[in-house]
Amino acid sequence: MGMTMTQKILADHAGLEKVEPGQLIEARLDMILGNDITTPVAVNEFNKAGFDRVFDKDRIAVVLDHFVPNKDIKAAQQSKTCREFAACHGISHFYDVGKMGIEHALLPEQGVVTAGDCIIGADSHTCTYGAVGAFSTGVGSTDMAAAMATGKAWFKVPAAIKVELTGKMPAGSSGKDVILTIIGRIGVDGALYKSLEFTGEGVASLSMDDRFTICNMAVEAGAKNGIFPVDIETMIYLEGRSERQIRIFTADDDATYESTLEIDLSAIRPVVACPHLPSNIRRAEELSDIRIDQVVIGSCTNGRMSDMEEAYRVLKGKTVAEGVRCIIIPATMEVYRECVERGYVTAFVDAGAVFSTPTCGPCLGGYMGILAEGERCIATTNRNFVGRMGHPGSEIYLASPATAAASAVAGFITGI
């Protein structure tokens, strides 16, 4: 039997000719990632283990993005730990105020991750990088600590689900609607510790930003990783960007998949994940009786330039509804600058929205948009669990940037 894309990447990095689902392997790593919340824990474990050097200062990335600029003393102490560690070990991929961005948008943008890589990150949404044809997955801070010292990690090879994409999405729909639709069909544990491998003629119609969004939320279906094949779209994105050699792995024709999920992109419509699970999917147009208090457009899921374009398209010349707080957060400083240069920021402010420097802030209930009891928010983020963005009595609805922006203007959830 042949191997899937994920299995081939893992076999290569383990120095094996073949791997099978369930097999335990030790694989070398191309990149190890941490942020301002998870890195301090990893640094503590690194020091407790007696390590005095990292395996490769160019293969570790530390991105300060969750509480930066620092919101309080604890956040400042965490960032200080990261800064001191990065300086001590000469970490080349260290991103602080002025250079930082939301990690899972920043690393692909800067070419720090590329096709064929094996990547771990102490953040669950590290699975985002499957969009460029890499195996990437989230781990705990202890695993990050060991990896920083050894350059290796243990894995159980995942079984795979083939997601066969056909057709082309209609105007008004996006990658966010695709992945929410998939999660709605299979549930939040429908791909538990499996690889979601996207394939089919429909892949060619998806932009890179669509693919990043889809892979980013693979973990919300329980997946170990999500991955797309490397095609012309991928190569155009990576050209002149990747700091390492691009390596292309393709699934064997006789690769074994545990199951196949068929998705007709032409049937995708704007959807919303209602409280309190990403799988609780409804059509946006069915929720017009849901009044909202806040809108957040940003995060590692939907804070890229195309997401800002969608928000601008909807908000330009309009006004955010009375009583609604609209918070727009670009994912990186490059996106921030582009929004300034294009005049988007002026349009957002004129519409009654606020525009922030890059941060994960409100997504995890950190800062920049905490919800009070009884408040409702529609957000382009990735999780809507109880208390995720603040008070446990608040509600979060997940949607695309277009749906979120339209809802900001309407004052209630609406499609476009």
Q: Are residues 57 and 147 in the same domain?
A: yes
Name the nearest CA neighbour of 368 among 304, 320, 299, 307. 299
- Residue 416 above 90 pLDDT? no
Q: Are residues 233 and 291 in the same domain?
A: no
Query: Residues 157, 158, 163, CA angle at the centre, nearest 5°?
Result: 145
Distance, CA of 117 to CA of 119 (rounded, Å): 6
From 240, 263, 286, give the residue that closes a domain: 263
Q: Are residues 199 and 298 in the same domain?
A: no
Q: Are residues 248 and 333 in the same domain?
A: no
Task: Quick: pLDDT tens for 156-186.
Answer: 999 999 999 999 999 889 999 999 999 999 9
* Share of residues in the chain with pLDDT > 90 (%): 98
Q: Are residues 183 and 284 in the same domain?
A: no
Domain membership of residue 373 (yes or no) is yes
Domain membership of residue 233 (yes or no) is yes
Q: Are residues 317 and 246 in the same domain?
A: no
pLDDT band at 415 (very low <50, low <70, confident <90, very high): confident
From 238, 263, 288, give the residue that closes a domain: 263
Distance, CA of 180 to CA of 164 (rounded, Å): 16
Q: Are residues 222 and 250 in the same domain?
A: yes
Distance, CA of 346 to CA of 349 (rounded, Å): 5
Name the nearest CA neighbour of 281 among 237, 220, 347. 220
Query: Residues 386, 391, 393, CA angle at the centre, nearest 5°?
Result: 65
Q: Are residues 285 and 253 in the same domain?
A: no
Q: What is the pLDDT of residue 118?
A: 98
Which SS3 state, helix, strand or coil, does residue 22 take?
Answer: coil
Measured CA distances, 112 to 93, 132, 235 (Å): 8, 11, 15
Across the chain, what does the average pLDDT equal?
A: 96
Distance, CA of 198 to CA of 213 (rounded, Å): 13
Exposed (0-12), middle (13-18) or buried (19+): which is 112, by Cβ within 10 Å?
A: buried
Q: What is the pLDDT of residue 61?
A: 98
Q: What is the pLDDT of residue 83?
A: 97
Q: Are residues 163 and 300 in the same domain?
A: no
Domain membership of residue 415 (yes or no) is no
Q: Which domain holds residue 80?
A: 7-263
Task: Quick: pLDDT tens for 118-133.
Answer: 999 999 999 999 999 9
CB 369 within 8 A of CB 354: no
Domain membership of residue 2 (yes or no) is no
* Share of residues in the chain with pLDDT > 70 (%): 100
Q: Are residues 283 and 235 in the same domain?
A: no
From 222, 242, 263, give the residue that closes a domain: 263
Distance, CA of 399 to CA of 160 (rounded, Å): 27
Q: Are residues 197 and 89 in the same domain?
A: yes
pLDDT band at 244 (very low <50, low <70, confident <90, very high): very high
Domain membership of residue 298 (yes or no) is yes
Global pTM reads: 0.95
Domain membership of residue 83 (yes or no) is yes
The total of structural domains in the chain comes to 2
Task: Quick: pLDDT tens for 291-312.
Answer: 999 999 999 999 999 999 999 9
Q: Are residues 239 and 325 in the same domain?
A: no
The CATH number that applies at residue 327 is 3.30.499.10
Mean pLDDT of 229-251: 95
Task: Quick: pLDDT tens for 332-386.
Answer: 999 999 999 999 999 999 999 999 999 999 999 999 999 999 999 999 999 999 9
pLDDT band at 1 (very low <50, low <70, confident <90, very high): confident
Domain membership of residue 369 (yes or no) is yes
Domain membership of residue 310 (yes or no) is yes
